[in-house]
Structure formats: structure tokens, C-alpha cells
Structure 1
Amino acid sequence: MDDRGTVVDTILRQLDALRSGASSPDAPGRSTTPMVDLVLPPAGITLTVNVRRTSMTDRADARRLPEPRPGDHPVLIAPFLSPAVRDELRRSGWSYSDATGNLLIQSSNPLVWIDRLGANRDPSPDPLSGPQRLRSLKGRSASEVIVRLLANGQVASVRELARQTEVGVATVSRVVEFLRDAGLVADVRSGKIVVSDKRRLALRWADDYSFTGTFKAKRYYSMLGDEIVLQRLRSAALPDYAITGVRAANDFIGQKNRVGLLPSTDLWLYVADLEHALTVLDLVPDPRGTILVAQADFLTSPESYRSGASELRSAQPWRVVGDLLSTSGRTAAVGDDLLRELLASGPTGMGV
């Protein structure tokens, strides 16, 4: 459809009016306004418009939007939508429009495709919601960036790192900026990011990050016993999980034909769906329980875990290093031993 036609002009005028109303002084707060219907007569469809007063720049925010139901045609309009957000909206079936001219109206039934390109940078970033300098490395997104940097040692660019980790470009940029300021990564050859010292990076990360703090891991007790939990994990009853902690470290060391670093008394688990995991594994909350469970989004990436010698799926070894180093005592010592093992293994021993 030609975007010079009156249909597109009419749509833009109506969307601009909705956006202007949302940004008026009398409009509601920073949250989205109630949905309204915008009729597109030539195609015979109704666009359900969700208006935001603030820009959206993080891909993760776009993923939190509800999945369109069959027959729905949701449209997100905002002051600005970043390229990563627009890409996520396009893939999930959402249409969009922002004040810089970015526009996509998509429908498969009836077939409608209106696409117009605006700005790729926010011309008026909100100082309260826009990118700000990172103050620590405790966040989940920061952990995904750092694990990837530790595993690879270098990456071509911030944008490539964002693509590999599926973390927003703005967030990745802030993490890399923090690491640059600390002298932990360097830029060479037109933007390539290179880890200066993996050991220093892992230890600095562990100062802020923790398995229990960052991922809100909680303790549980198995009604059937820990061995039954392990059997159910081996049987693929719970497909999206990864073991971390001492058990994962021992599993990695075992594949090197070495004895485990420390007897494992606890089972640390990442799961994609916490409620489903508790049901499948028959777990109940218990502050003295031996099973720690945390919900994590990164399990969707096959590079975030590995198949271990015990037929159990383990987290990427560099993440296990961070999880252990962030503790104290003997478990932290296991993390340091695993760190030395990974450094000695070289590029082929990352376990990715």
C-alpha cells in the first residue's frame, strides 16, 4: 500500500491525535492509557490502540506486552520506539507508531501492510526513563552480557553483543560502558569489545551479583526426596532448566576426569517456569530446604546451558563461576577453582 495515499494520512492523523491526548497535562501518569478502538474502513479491521506517554527502548519491555489473540490488531503508539523494540513488536504481531514517523500497520487477515521509517534515535530522551549510567553489575541483563563476554573473550560490537544475548542495545551499551570505565574491557579495531582479564571481570561481577539476590532464588523441600527430583530432571519431565552451584561445577570437573571439588549438599536450579517446576518436582517452600530454585529468562538460549556427564543440564560454566564466587566460604572456593579450570582450558574449554 502506498504510504502517500489518503488512507495512511488519515491513520497518522488519528494516531497523532491519540498520542497528543496522552501527552497532555491532564492525561494519566506514566503508565499506558486504557485501550481505544481505531477503525480502518478500507480493510474492514479495527485497530486496538495502546497509548504510552513515555518512549520504549528496551526489548524486554516489548516482550511483556500481551500476545495478540486471533483476530486482534493491537497497535502501540509512543513518543519513540527504538529499533530493537520495533523489531520485537513486528515479530510478535503488534503494529506500532511513534512521533518520529516510525509506523507499521500489519494484518494477515485481511492482508494489510503499511510500513514507514522514522528516526532510530530518540530526539527527546526522557531523563527519568532513558538510558542512565550503570551503578553496579547486579542485574539479570548485566549477567547475560558478562557471561557471554567471559565465554567468548571478545565480540564484534555492542549491537552484535545485544543480538547474541537478546538484551536491549541500550542496556548492553551501559554494561559495556561500566566495564570500560573499570578497565575490564577494551575497544579495538573499530569497536570490537575485548575482555582485558577474565579473572578480574569475573571477580568484579561477583562483587555485585548473586544467584540468590539477583534471581531471587528461594529454598524448597522435596516431598519425594532429592533423588526423585534428579530422576525427573533426567527424564525430561521439566525441559527448561539448568543446574548451577557446586553440583554443576563438579559435573564440569568430572568431564575432565577429575574428582569433584566439594561434596554437593544443595541443589541449585534455574527454571523457565517456576510454578510449573514446583508442580513437576513436588516442591514446597522451606527456609531450611536443600533445593534452591530461581526463575530465569535466559534458558531460551541453547548457549546458556550444557549437557553434563550426569545426564543433567547444567548452566554455562561461566555463570556457575559467578553464582559460586558471589557466595562465601567453601562454595566461593569452589567457584575460584572452577574459574582457574576454565582459564586453563583456553578457548576450547568454555563448555558452551
Structure 2
Amino acid sequence: MAHQDSPDTIEAAGPKPERPIDIYRRAAVCLEACLPLGWTMSSDRPRSPEAPQRLVVTSPEGESVSFAIVASRGVLSGDVARIAAELSDSDRGFVCAHYLSDPVRRQLDQHGISYADATGNLTLVASRPAVWVRNRGADADPWRGPGRPSGVLTGEPSDRVVRALADHSGEMTVPELIKLSGASTGATYRVVEVLMEREFIRRIPRGGITEVRWEQMLRAWAADRKMCATRRFAAPDGLEIVRNQLAERIDITYALSGVGATDYADSDVLELYADDPDDFAGALGLRPVDRGGDVVVAIPWSPVVFDRMDRARSLRSVAPSHVYADLLSGPFRDQEAAEHMRARLTADEAHWRRPIH
């Protein structure tokens, strides 16, 4: 078995590679420098800016092993299981990124996936021909300065940017996104970088956002964001009276969500957002309860729940994108209704995503 374990760190230099082809080339340089004597590597010729599809490593005896190349700007811990699932049972993966953190590298090792980043972190393993190559690179992302994004979609800027991207279609510039979302300039650029690293959006270098993978983005946002506190209330006169009151009054600020904001099924519980649950309950004559209840009121972390509201059965509801996220995770979650909502949103994007131009 050929074995190469280099203690030397290949220092990152120059600008961070952005295009898939550049990410692969930097990773390939690291791998070629660490291969045992007599071993060679090759790949198919890609069409720039895409990376090659396959890497072939050949032993001195002429025996070869092939790897499927996965080039990504950034890989997070939550992405590893997806990458492993997308590889066929008989295939081997070779993940390339500008930087792979220690937790991500450990997960890739556990899944038997080879990898290399532009700082020199590298593992390549195969059983036939038997080869094991390993190298130590940087312990921290050299391109991430103080205050740069953590990779997690939490906080009001993330709420605003994710919702604005999901709710609109068409190519948009970051200044346009800043205006649509209402987030600050710095925060918007930071969230955009996280979304690019997680490959939920595509952006021309220093240019506009050309593609939004809204379903994957909303799933990640639903999983990352904080859980809202909720209050429960009973409706002494029944839910129909409450619905009628909400349909008639414009002085009460609320946004319906959950199953009741969809056409999936009738709900015997009214689920909604309100900034002040006690004021909301007082205006409608609701009685607080510890368990059960007819009305569940969530206190929103950010006012984005009231942006671009929709109508559901004469009631104001959060936007369809927000309904989907709430059904995936949080106090209003319902997996079957979420799948129904996903199918509906996918089937008719033009109905709920507003053209940017």
C-alpha cells in the first residue's frame, strides 16, 4: 500500500479561488505535491468555469482508481451527508473547496470521502490500488477575517435576505437585494457570502445574483433560525368567531401561519404571529391556557414575518415562502403539510415569486 503522510503545511497564497475550476486546480496542486513517488493523476478537460467531473489516480504499476469531483466554494458539516448520499454505492468522491474546517474533514473521513482544500488539508484514500495520502493545511480559514459570517442563517439580517431572495425571481444586484430586504449593506453582503458558500445562490464575481435555490435555502434557514416563544389561548366562542373578527378588523397586527395558512387541510387550531400575545388575546376575548387551546401565538424574532403578507381564507398570512419554512421547523411544523406546500410552490413559482424587474 502506498502511503504518504506529510507534516508540511502548504500555505495558502493569493486571492481565494472562487470559480469551480480554480478551486479544483488549487486542490490538485496540493494533491500532486503529496502523491507518493511514481504515482500520477489526471482529469478530464472541463469547460471553464466548471471543474472536471472525474479525477484518476494511477499507481506505478498502471492500476488506476477514479474519483467523482465535487468542487464547492464552501462545505459545512450539514452538507457532508448530502454529498455522501449523492455518490453512488460504487463511486468514490473527491471534495475540493477553498477551505475545509476540522469538523467537516472529520465527517468526510467518516464517510470515506477524499478531499483537498486550497490551504493543503488533504486526504486521498482507496483500497485498489491501495493508496493513502494525507497532508495538514491551515487550521483556520485564511480568507475569513474578523466578523465574517459563521455559515449559519440566524438573526434578523438572515431572515430579511433569505425572504427577499425567496420571494423574488430574476437576476438581481446586491444593492437591489439590500433595498428589497431592508437589511444593512454590510449584513447583506455577509449573508450573501454565506449563501454562496453553501451554494444556495449563484453570483457573478462582483456582479449580480443569477440563481436562487430557494427550496434548499428555505430548508436550511428553517433549520438554523431560533425557535420562537409561543403562548396558547382558548376561544370561548369558538374559532369561527375569531376568524370573523380577524377578517373584519384592520387594527390588529397578526400574520397567520402553519396548516391554517395552506389549502392542505382544515385546522382546528389557529396558528399565527403577533408582537404582543396578551394585547392580541385581549382584543379578541381569548383566555390564556397552559396546554391545548384553540389559538397558538408565536412572538416573532424579526418583523420580516409581516413583509409581503398573503391572504388565506380572508385572513392575513405570512408569505408562502415563510409558511413553508414554518411547516418544516418551529412551533408550527407539520411535515406532511410542508411537503404539500413544497409541491405547490414548485409547481407555480410565478404565482408567489415576484419579478424583480
Please report the TM-score for the alignment, with normalisation by the length of structure 1: 0.52
Q: Given the alignment, which residue of 245, 248, 257 partners 1:235?
A: 248
1:255 corresponds in structure 2 to none
- Is contact 2:277–2:299 with CA below 8 Å preserved after alignment? yes
Q: Distance in 1 between matches of 2:317 and 2:189?
A: 28
2:336 corresponds in structure 1 to 333
Q: 1:318 to 1:329 in 2, by over 3 A?
A: closer
2:303 corresponds in structure 1 to 298
1:270 corresponds in structure 2 to 273
2:229 corresponds in structure 1 to 216
Listed as ranges, the matches of 1:61-210 within 5 Å are: 131-154=147-170, 156-188=172-204, 190-209=206-225
Larger displacement relative to structure 2 (329-338 or 142-151): 329-338
State which structure, 1 or 2, has the greater radius of gyration over its C-alpha atoms: 2
Q: Given the alignment, which residue of 271, 280, 283 partners 1:280?
A: 283
- Is contact 1:134–1:174 with CA below 8 Å preserved after alignment? no
Q: Which has the higher helix share?
A: 1
The aligned length equals: 208
Q: For residue 255 of structure 2, give the secondary structure of its aligned residue in structure 1.
A: strand
Q: 1:278 to 1:350 in 2, by over 3 A?
A: same
State the 1:264 CA deviation: 1.3
Q: 1:168 to 1:223 in 2, by over 3 A?
A: farther
Q: Given the alignment, which residue of 227, 230, 247 partners 2:260?
A: 247
Q: 1:282 to 1:141 in 2, by over 3 A?
A: farther
Q: For residue 307 of structure 1, give the secondary structure of its aligned residue in structure 2.
A: strand
Letter in 2 for 1:156: M
Letter in 1 for 2:209: I
Q: Distance in 2 between matches of 1:226 and 1:351?
A: 33
State the 1:243 CA deviation: 0.6
Q: 1:329 to 1:232 in 2, by over 3 A?
A: closer
State the 1:329 CA deviation: 11
> Root-mean-square deviation (CA), in Å?
2.9
- Is contact 1:246–1:334 with CA below 8 Å preserved after alignment? yes
State the 1:299 CA deviation: 6.2
Unmatched tracts of structure 1, length 5 or more: 1-129, 251-260
| Larger relative contact order (Cα-Cα within 8 Å, sequence gap ≥ 6) | 2
Q: For residue 313 of structure 1, give the secondary structure of its aligned residue in structure 2.
A: strand
Q: Distance in 1 between matches of 2:293 and 2:183?
A: 33
Unmatched tracts of structure 2, length 5 or more: 1-145
State the 1:190 CA deviation: 4.5
Q: 1:306 to 1:264 in 2, by over 3 A?
A: same
Q: 1:221 to 1:169 in 2, by over 3 A?
A: farther
